[in-house]
Amino acid sequence: MHDLKMFVCPRCNLSFCDRMDLQAHMSVHAEEKLFRCSICKRSFVQEENYKKHLQHHQKDKRHKCQYCEKTFERNSYRLQHERTHTGERPFACRFCSKTFAQRNSMQRHEIIHLGIKKYKCDICEKAFGRRESLQNHILTHTKDIKKQSVPEVVSPMTGVVAVEKPSAP
């Protein structure tokens, strides 16, 4: 049986069967990184890793808008973006004549017509179709609480009730 001699990196304890592999690996720990990506500013010691990294930028952004300089990872993202230039609104609500540039916006709108209200206020039990609507509604309760906590002052001379304005911070 042959004994395999292992070469261990003194910085990270990674093991290699070949001394040359260890030496190539050691460049990963080098302080001076000579190759810097101009797109994301990431730095690399080895040119090979730098070139692989650049391919990710090119691969991810190969769909260019025909109206501006923006590029996109997917063609569907490009098409969606281009509607901001053209004003195209290809998605129409099934219940009214309103149109939308994005399918998800149309679907969110249709919830109004369907009467689906899955977001319920814990304070007054009122229900809403959208989370944002519930969040805005909850603010009305906090305003009511603030209004109730403003002290009232009764004038001993006239008996008139006056609301004391809160002092400015």
If you classify domain 18-60 with CATH, what class do you get? alpha beta
Q: Which residue has the higher pLDDT, 165 or 26?
A: 26
Q: Where in the chain is the domain with CATH 3.30.160.60?
A: 18-60
Confidence at residue 81, expressed as pLDDT on a 0 to 100 scale:
93
Q: Mean pLDDT over residues 33-54, rounded?
A: 78
**Average pLDDT of the chain?**
76
45, 48, 50, 51: CA torsion to nearest 10:
160
Confidence at residue 15, expressed as pLDDT on a 0 to 100 scale:
76
Confidence at residue 12, expressed as pLDDT on a 0 to 100 scale:
77
Confidence at residue 88, expressed as pLDDT on a 0 to 100 scale:
96
Of 20-29, 83-92, 93-102, 145-154, the one with minimum mean pLDDT is 145-154
Confidence at residue 90, expressed as pLDDT on a 0 to 100 scale:
95
Confidence at residue 75, expressed as pLDDT on a 0 to 100 scale:
86
H, E, C per residue of the chain: CCCCCCEECCCCCCEECCHHHHHHHHHHHCCCCCEECCCCCCEECCHHHHHHHHHHHHHHCCEECCCCCCEECCHHHHHHHHHHHHCCCCEECCCCCCEECCHHHHHHHHHHHHCCCCEECCCCCCEECCHHHHHHHHHHHHHHHHHHCCCEEECCCCCCEEECCCCCC
Confidence at residue 152, expressed as pLDDT on a 0 to 100 scale:
46
What number does CATH give the domain 116-146?
Answer: 3.30.160
Residue 79: pLDDT over 90 = yes
pLDDT one-digit tens code per residue, 86-136: 999 999 999 998 999 999 899 888 888 988 888 888 889 898 888 888 888
Q: Which residue has the higher pLDDT, 63 or 166?
A: 63
pTM: 0.44
